[in-house]
A and B are shown apart, each in its own frame.
Chain A
């Protein structure tokens, strides 16, 4: 079993929809949780990160962490075609250890 599970999609939604992207994990030591966005044939770029449980909002994006369920989510409001990309979750315990990435969910926002 992988430490971090993420549905690969693809997920196709119409413009303006609310998108929910999710990851589950098994390592209870994880404390820092990140979402990266990766456009086709580009490197990933950090969208948001959160520490421990709770919500964090940044514009149309909201990251949510539920440590009791070992479940994290990224919500995108008013989705735009420019949001079409692969979204990777990543996490680590916050010590000098590697980031563990999910496999990524491919999102397509259609006009």
Chain B
């Protein structure tokens, strides 16, 4: 039982390049989330998916797109990376059918992204 897995662990991009961050969970959870964590800013929600087939914007969605590929997988895409997107990205999942509520969110190990 791996929980929440993320790939890659590290990535360096040049400004304007694109990439997709992958996330998968094996807990049969309904809801999945993408956060970014920056020094002094805490965790900020980028997008979430309350259930398979639905996605919604979080606090900082600009510059990102997401795909809920199936119940297990939720990917985050940067179409044209900018230095402001340098951050640590966390994927999380929870059992809830209702998005970010009170049930436990389980986090992945993170992807450290640097945009030059």
Interface residues, chain A, with chain B CB atoms under 8 Å away: 4, 6, 8, 32, 34, 41-46, 49, 51, 88, 90, 92, 94-99, 101-104
Decide yes or no whether B102 CB sits under 8 A from chain A: yes
Interface pair A88/B99, CB less than 8 Å apart: no
Q: Mark B32-76, 1 if CB is under 8 A from A, else 0.
A: 000000001111110010100000001100000000000000000
Q: Given A43-B4, A43-B110, A96 and B101 touching (CB < 8 A)? A: yes
| Cα A88 to Cα B102 with chains together (Å) | 15
Interface pair A46/B105, CB less than 8 Å apart: yes
Q: Mark B1-43, 1 if CB is under 8 A from A, else 0.
A: 0001000000000000000000000000000000000001111
Q: How many A-B residue pairs have CB under 8 A?
A: 63
Interface residues, chain B, with chain A CB atoms under 8 Å away: 4, 40-45, 48, 50, 58-59, 90, 92, 98-102, 104-110
Interface pair A96/B99, CB less than 8 Å apart: yes
Q: Given A43-B4, A96-B98, A101 and B107 touching (CB < 8 A)? A: no
Interface pair A101/B109, CB less than 8 Å apart: no
Query: In the complex, how many angstroms separate the beta carbon of B7 from the nearest chain A beta carbon?
Result: 14
- 4 closest Cβ contacts across the A-B interface? A43-B107, A101-B43, A103-B42, A101-B42
Chain A CB within 10 A, most for which of B4, B42, B48, B58: B42
**A104 surroundings in chain B (CB, below 8 A):** 42
Look across to chain A and name the residue whose beta carbon is closest to the beta carbon of B108.
A43
Interface pair A43/B100, CB less than 8 Å apart: no
Q: What are 27 sample pairs from A and B whose C-beta atoms fall under 8 A apart? A: A6-B42, A34-B102, A41-B109, A43-B108, A43-B109, A43-B110, A45-B107, A46-B105, A49-B102, A49-B104, A90-B43, A92-B101, A94-B101, A95-B101, A96-B98, A96-B99, A96-B101, A97-B100, A97-B101, A98-B58, A98-B99, A99-B105, A101-B43, A101-B44, A102-B42, A103-B41, A103-B42
Given A45-B106, A98-B100, 7 more pairs with CB closer than 8 A:
A43-B109, A44-B107, A45-B107, A94-B102, A96-B100, A101-B42, A101-B44
Interface pair B42/A88, CB less than 8 Å apart: yes
**A44 surroundings in chain B (CB, below 8 A):** 43, 90, 107
